[in-house]
Structure 1
Amino acid sequence: MFSTAGLVLQLSYALLVAAMLSGKPRLMRLLIALAAILILLRAALLVHDGAAIVWMAILLTAWLLKLWGDRRENAATTLFDEREEAMRSGCLNDLPRGAARLFIDQGLWLEGATGEILTNEGQTVDHIYFLASGEARASSGGRTVGMCRPGDLIGEATVLSGGAATATVTLVSPATFWCASTADVRQFLDDHDSLRITIERSFSNALREKLRAANRLIATS
């Protein structure tokens, strides 16, 4: 039969084995910390092993420092400026903050001038845009079919279908927009399959809203 000190030690070993089998870094570190706490308590209260106390105290200190560093890093990567926050709380609202940060980092923020064309009807769309400020006109066959305003996505249909642009989108005022390669966005979705459904749903919702607005505009013109 194991003594109390022996049972505690065996449980600690089991936690270390579980840590190695977990495959998840955070869970691994947590299990190792729990094992260290048990060994520390055993050394301090049951067997009075000074060396074990020192080593487990060092291990737990290292764990706390790592935990603190991870939290600082996570806090830094989930900070958003005004433009990014508008995008995160808009078309990326259903994503966790960390995932939104990763997605936004796939593109760049650019300034556009009046008259700049973002997409050409019937041509391949190489980039997707998020309009942070300014306005753009969507036209098909020379006829205005919609207006894009701050908070709107442009080119999301191509990411979903891979087809050509259904309208020409032209800036009608100076604008600030996020721009990312459609190839990069598709690769991001392939690499982050767990986020694909959420992002594609957001794109689909944006597309449906634009189609409804276009139908209303056509019906009243």
Structure 2
Amino acid sequence: MANFDSAWFVYGVLLLLLATSFVVRIDYVRMGLAAAALVALPLVLFRDPDVGYGLLVLAILVVNIGILTRLWLHGTNVRFSAEEEELRRQHFGRLGPLAARGLIDQGHWISAKRGEVLIRENQAAPSLFYLAEGLASVQRDGAEIARLSDGALIGEATVLGGAHATGTVVLGSNARLWFVPAAALRAYLAANPDLAGALHEGFARALRGKLASANTRIAERPLVSKATPASDASNM
């Protein structure tokens, strides 16, 4: 080991710690710390070994691997009902089992009747809704501008920012819904900021689906009718 140059390992550890500094999810931070400790082990073994330094590096490695293993085992024991799994698949696919479980548990599952109003025009969305089963109508100034069906998110465009909705959402049939109050959702994301990116991605995907559907409906209308801008249907 006479030609061993520990500088490369020092650089490797520093680069790993730098990369870890940019991640948001705490489990990724732990992975970075464990990897940095693993790279640092040759310094302990092959150059001027120091018992205290070696024990510290090993402690960092063992502690982080132990916590990651516990989180992984905990995640494998998380269970979802069929409707929860569908919600997760459609809108929270980037969230791990534990994160998805925590988010879904902030809300409630209900059965609602035809004609119930979920969101009112010119008012802030009271909750984020997921339409598991049923139909809903998006109306503006009393005219229908879009229809929503199984799997739709409702309120995702305005629930976090508190902006007023540009339309009213009314159930067109009896429905099965999951909903989380706006204040509870904002508080949960404030306490778990690492979830925000994945949640916003799900919201953006839902909005793109609404825009595509609204544009299709506009294209199918008679030319004599006045088309409603597709963006109005997405501000729910």
1:216 aligned partner: 216
Once residues 114 and 29 of structure 1 are traced to their aligned partners in structure 2, the CA distance between those partners, rounded to angstroms, is 48
Once residues 11 and 101 of structure 1 are traced to their aligned partners in structure 2, the CA distance between those partners, rounded to angstroms, is 44
Secondary structure, counterpart of 1:204 in structure 2: helix
Once residues 179 and 132 of structure 2 are traced to their aligned partners in structure 1, the CA distance between those partners, rounded to angstroms, is 11
Once residues 106 and 178 of structure 2 are traced to their aligned partners in structure 1, the CA distance between those partners, rounded to angstroms, is 10
Q: What is the CA distance between 1:96 and its match in structure 2? A: 1.8
Q: How many residues align?
A: 174
Equivalent runs, 1:150-161 vs 2, <5 Å: 150-161=150-161
Secondary structure, counterpart of 1:157 in structure 2: coil
1:97 aligned partner: 97
- Quick check: 1:160–1:200 contact (8 Å CA) kept in 2? no
Once residues 29 and 121 of structure 1 are traced to their aligned partners in structure 2, the CA distance between those partners, rounded to angstroms, is 47
Amino acid at match of 1:202: G
Distance 1:197 1:220, change over 3 A: same
Q: What is the CA distance between 1:100 and its match in structure 2? A: 1.3
Once residues 103 and 192 of structure 1 are traced to their aligned partners in structure 2, the CA distance between those partners, rounded to angstroms, is 10
1:60-118 deviation digits (Å, cap 9, x = unpaired): xxxxxx95x972x4333x21101101101101112222221111111011110011110
- Quick check: 1:20–1:28 contact (8 Å CA) kept in 2? no
Answer with 1 or 2: which has the greater Rg: 1
- Quick check: 1:159–1:182 contact (8 Å CA) kept in 2? yes
Secondary structure, counterpart of 1:79 in structure 2: coil
- Quick check: 1:19–1:27 contact (8 Å CA) kept in 2? no
1:169 aligned partner: 169
Secondary structure, counterpart of 1:146 in structure 2: strand
Q: What is the CA distance between 1:21 and its match in structure 2? A: 5.2
Identity %: 33
Q: What is the CA distance between 1:123 and its match in structure 2? A: 0.9
Amino acid at match of 1:136: A
Once residues 196 and 29 of structure 1 are traced to their aligned partners in structure 2, the CA distance between those partners, rounded to angstroms, is 23
Once residues 211 and 187 of structure 1 are traced to their aligned partners in structure 2, the CA distance between those partners, rounded to angstroms, is 29
1:112-169 deviation digits (Å, cap 9, x = unpaired): 0011110111111110101111111111111111111111100001135421112111
2:190 aligned partner: 190
1:27 aligned partner: 65
Equivalent runs, 1:60-209 vs 2, <5 Å: 71=73, 73-76=74-77, 78-209=78-209
Range moving further from structure 2, 209-218 or 163-172 = 209-218
Amino acid at match of 1:27: I
Range moving further from structure 2, 207-216 or 168-177 = 207-216
* Structure 2 length-normalised TM: 0.64
- Quick check: 1:135–1:173 contact (8 Å CA) kept in 2? yes
Q: What is the CA distance between 1:28 and its match in structure 2? A: 5.5
- Quick check: 2:75–2:97 contact (8 Å CA) kept in 1? no
- Quick check: 2:132–2:175 contact (8 Å CA) kept in 1? yes
Structure having the higher helix fraction is 1
Once residues 107 and 166 of structure 1 are traced to their aligned partners in structure 2, the CA distance between those partners, rounded to angstroms, is 24
**Cα-Cα RMSD:** 2.8
Distance 1:219 1:143, change over 3 A: farther
1:17 aligned partner: 56
- Quick check: 1:19–1:28 contact (8 Å CA) kept in 2? no
Distance 1:191 1:15, change over 3 A: farther
